[in-house]
Amino acid sequence: MNDTVKEDIVSILNGVIGVISEDEIDVGEIKSLSDHTLHDSCIFQDEDSISIAILVYCFFKIIGKKKGIKIKDLIGILKDTKKKIMNDDIEGYRNNIKKLFNMISEIDGKIKYYIEEVIEIAKIKKGMRIFEHGISMGRVSDILGISEWELMNYVGKTNIFDKQMISYNVRDRLNFARKVFGLK
């Protein structure tokens, strides 16, 4: 496992453990952590980043309902999971992630829909990043298998077009074109 991914997962686990207690659950903070993990899963695109992103998103979806959740057990597994990854017990870490997914599956049978939703969100976020680098929206939607409407909807909510573009005067552009074509 990549050290950057490992550090990020430990940070995420600390965050989740910090906002879940038997008395109160900060659903807004779990949503924020979920958004962060989705972003990371787009960047790293490895099994562990994606699984932690899905897990935190599932927590966000079900934890506010508190239906059938044994918070004490959940916190215990999360702390053990953090300990295992910090001690480089990657297999133990992954086994605990499976336990957490099983726990969620028992609570809410909609887990497969949450997984699909996370993957779709990740595709759209990744598409926005590709579009930001100058690839057309149509091409991005073809590459990632998402609709242009979904991508346009997401891009419209960002500030991508508000960034100030560097502009060059006509003389600088002409000199650049001459250099490119070897006319100078």
In tens, the pLDDT along 13-27 reads 998 888 887 667 777
Distance CA 125, CA 127 (A): 5
**Structural domain contains residue 181:** no
pLDDT at 49: 78
- Higher-pLDDT residue of 45 and 131 is 131
What pTM was computed for the model? Answer: 0.64
* Host domain of residue 149: 3-162
**Structural domain contains residue 45:** yes
Indicate the number of domains in the chain: 1
Confidence of residue 181 (pLDDT cuts 50, 70, 90): confident
Could you tell me the CA-to-CA distances from 144 to 46, 63, 104, 122, 135 in Å, in that order? 17, 31, 29, 10, 12
Mean pLDDT value of segment 2-15: 88
- Higher-pLDDT residue of 159 and 86 is 86
**Structural domain contains residue 169:** no
**Structural domain contains residue 168:** no
For every residue of 77-117, DSSP letters joined together read HHHHHHHHHHTT-HHHHHHHHHHHHHHHHHH-TTHHHHHHH
Distance CA 19, CA 120 (A): 26
Q: What angle do CA 7, 13, 14 make, to 5 degrees?
A: 90
**Structural domain contains residue 184:** no
pLDDT at 108: 72
Distance CA 142, CA 16 (A): 36
Alpha carbons within 13 angstroms on the beta-carbon side of residue 148 total: 6
**Structural domain contains residue 75:** yes
**Structural domain contains residue 176:** no
Q: Which of 23, 94, 21, 7 is nearest to 55 (CA)?
A: 94
Model confidence at 164: pLDDT above 80: no
Mean pLDDT value of segment 122-133: 74
- Higher-pLDDT residue of 68 and 80 is 80
**Structural domain contains residue 179:** no
32 alpha-carbon distance from chain centroid: 10
List of residues 6+ apart from 160 with CB closer than 8 A = 128, 131, 132
- Higher-pLDDT residue of 89 and 127 is 89
